[in-house]
Amino acid sequence: MSEYQLYCFAQSGNAYRAALMLNLIGADWQPVFVDFFARGETRTPQYRTDVNEMGEVPVLAYGNKKLSQSGVILTYLSDRSGKFLPQGEDERLEALRWIIFDNQKVNGFLGPYRFLKNFAKPAPDPAVFGFLKGRIDNALAIVDKRLAPRSFVLGERPTIADISLVAYLYYPAEEFGFDIAKDHPAIGRWLDRIKALPGWKHPYELMPGHPLPDR
Ligand SMILES: N[C@@H](CCC(=O)N[C@@H](CS)C(=O)NCC(=O)O)C(=O)O
């Protein structure tokens, strides 16, 4: 058995943060497929008892330890490996600040937008998309401005803040109906930089469950 197991599925950008981190640090890991779409597995009492009371992926299992919340998993893996680790108190707090902003406002809105657009049945009221798109545009503009004068979120070195923020950004533009990299050039250049790191893989390559069977 691998050192780490990651409960995940291919369509989850929240899980991609953890999967990408594991691959970038060269960890010995394997995915554990969570059947979110066909079985609604995260909502089953068994999942909530045995895997995660919050009913979410990702969950990182390591020995007897199980960690959820991608920000916690990233922090744990960077502490253990020394890689993508913010250095010193100021950087640590700065990374946490961007991880929370990402979870709530960047991918926190992009994830539900993409889910509703591609997977929700019946499709939601267009007003829902209008609201979310306004929030997304605002948050992406903030990230683009941050990245314009620097290579990575904290400066010239990639950290867990970058790995958190890329969560949904490599999924195909058609899944959003807009092209994030084109609309936000500094984000586009930053995504290319991260893609060039040894161990980078696309979410659909890194985690099981793509493509979805016809539903
Ligand atoms: N803040 C959490 C978000 C996790 C999350 O929302 N995961 C989704 C999949 S992309 C999930 O498991 N949702 C199940 C549900 O809400 O029922 C993290 O970063 O780990």
For residue 106, give the nearest of 141, 72, 75, 76 by alpha carbon: 141
User: Would the pLDDT of 146 be above 90?
Assistant: yes
Q: Which residues line ligand 1 (CB under 6 A)?
A: 12, 14, 42-43, 55-58, 69-70, 103, 111
Mean pLDDT of 3-12: 98
User: Would the pLDDT of 160 be above 70?
Assistant: yes
* Average pLDDT over all residues of the chain: 98
- Rounded to whole angstroms, how far apart are CA atoms 140 and 52? 30
The model carries a pTM of: 0.98
Q: In whole angstroms, how far apart are CA 169 and each of 125, 135, 203, 206? A: 24, 16, 10, 15
Tell me which of 9, 14, 106 to substitute to probe ligand 1's pocket, judged by most ligand atoms within 8 Å of the beta carbon: 14
Q: Distance from the CA of 103 to the center of ligand 1, in angstroms?
A: 10
For residue 184, give the nearest of 143, 149, 150 by alpha carbon: 143
Mean pLDDT of 72-91: 98
User: Would the pLDDT of 215 be above 90?
Assistant: no
- Rounded to whole angstroms, how far apart are CA atoms 3 and 21? 14
pLDDT (tens digit, 9 = 90+) per residue, 173-183?
999 999 999 99
Ligand 1 atom with the smallest distance to the CA of 13 is 10
Measuring from atom 2 of ligand 1, which residue has the nearest CA?
A: 69
